[in-house]
Amino acid sequence: MPFKQLVKFHLFCLILSLFSLPLAAEWQTEDAAIMGTTIRVEVWHADADKREQGINSVLNEMERVNRLMSPYIEDSQLSKINKSAHEEPIEVDRDLFHVIEKSLEVSRLTDGAFDITYASVGHLFNYRKEIKPTEDEIEQAKQLIDYKNVVLDENQLTVRFLKQGVKIDLGGIAKGFAVDQSIQHLKQLGIEHALVSAGGDTRLLGDRRGRAWLVGIRDPANTEEAVVMLPLEDEALSTSGDYERFFIEDGEKYHHIIHPSTGKSVSEVRSVSILASDATTTDALSTSIFVMGVNNGLELLNRLDGVEGVIIDQNAKLYYSEGLEQPESAANHNANVK
């Protein structure tokens, strides 16, 4: 089987880290804290100035998207939408409009499993401080969760809400979009081999100069262990897991992936990973299928062209989309795991 075809048939879930031979002088790597997560950039180019230019372009793009789409920055356009879109249409940047438009497309595709208005309840949680809303607060706020409450005007590039109190959050798609934008910047600079990662969302540009990117897979039951190693190139992959932002109270886990119909954390699965050609798609679908659960999630995956994935349920059972073959376990690669 040709290498490219073999890659597309491999299983993956959450990236734990990237394992490779030591970097040659022409490789440059940098990490940064942006968009509430760790941004990692690896680029290859013979020209050191070009490498530096590439890394700076990625970090600048991540900052730009964050300033535009963060609900935690008071003067971001997203914050302005959440504050005033129920009163009047809010004109926004074309990129923000595009991401919201894409979000609504995924909402329709998934029958509302992906819904950026989940934030109408989600903003009531504070996972760092272990704060959660009361049952009454959830019941009242979840009435506002409906992507149909978001109305777009493509000609005017405006966003408006049909109800007061609606809030949106692009945490399930914005990082993937920022990764895709960053890869485009690198391509424009003539860089052909790179990796850009924003938390659980990664896109690979080319290979590692004749070798595949070797990706380690995190076990959701033991996040210090890699359960599988994968060779990948020219792919985007995203993972959503219940171990990213959470707290436990009275034996119940409260995590950041909210079911739109209940206003509460999803409990059927622990991890969903998606492989496709762009990170905007993989980011949104990993969240969607996490909400949909095993059966509905697999049914959707098997209907989509060019998309593959795996779901890990609460019993640590792995479910594969039809196009995947089970890869070698990480046990066969322990010598490579650091």
- Residues 5, 320: contact at Cβ < 8 Å? no
Confidence class for position 16, pLDDT limits 50, 70, 90: very low
- The tens digit of pLDDT for each residue in 176-218 reads 999 999 999 999 999 999 999 998 899 999 999 999 988 766 7
Structure tokens at 43: 């680029």
| Pair 116, 82: CB distance under 8 Å | no
Q: Which fold has domain 1-20+211-338?
A: T-fold (3.10.520)
Q: In the predicted model, is pLDDT for residue 316 greater than 50?
A: yes
Q: Identify any residues that bridge with 213 across adjacent strands, giving them in sequence order.
A: 232
Q: Give exposure, 170-179, as e/b (b: 16+ Cβ within 10 Å).
A: bbbbbbbbbb
Reported confidence tier of residue 84, pLDDT bands at 50, 70, 90: very high
Structure-token match 């109800």, residue found: 163
Backbone angles phi, psi at 106, to 5 degrees: -70, -35
How far apart (Å, rounded) are the C-alpha atoms in residues 268 and 191? 41
- pLDDT tens column, 137-151: 999 999 999 999 999
- What pLDDT is attached to residue 125? 87
Residue (of 70, 153, 170, 49) closest to 119 by Cα position: 170
The predicted pLDDT at position 227 comes to 66
Tens digits of residue pLDDT in 30-77 = 999 999 999 999 999 999 999 999 999 999 999 999 999 999 999 999
Q: Which pLDDT belongs to residue 241?
A: 86
Alpha helices in the chain (DSSP H): 3-8, 48-69, 77-84, 94-109, 119-122, 135-141, 174-188, 279-292, 294-301
pLDDT value at 278 more than 50: yes
Residue 9 makes CB contacts below 8 A (sequence gap 6+) with: 1, 308, 323, 324, 325
CATH class entry, domain 77-161: mainly alpha
- DSSP 8-state symbol, 332: G
Q: Whole-angstrom Cα distance, residue 232 to residue 213?
A: 5
CA within 13 Å, CB half, 52: 3
In the chain, residues under CATH classification 3.10.520.10 are: 1-20+211-338
pTM, two decimals, is: 0.88
Ranges of H-type helices in 73-173: 77-84, 94-109, 119-122, 135-141
Can you tell me the distance from the alpha carbon of 17 to that of 20, in angstroms, rounded to the nearest whole number? 10
Q: In a 10 Å sphere around its CB, with 0-12 CB exposed, 13-18 middle and 19+ buried, how is residue 81 labelled? A: buried
Q: Phi and psi dihedrals of 276, rounded to 5?
A: -160, -170
CATH 1.10.3980.10 residue ranges of the chain are: 77-161
Burial (CB count <10 Å: 0-12, 13-18, 19+), residue 21 = exposed
Per mean pLDDT, which range of 81-85, 191-195, 202-206, 240-244 is the poorest? Answer: 240-244
108 pLDDT band (50/70/90 cuts)?
Answer: very high
Residue 260 makes CB contacts below 8 A (sequence gap 6+) with 112, 113, 115, 117, 118, 142, 145, 146, 291
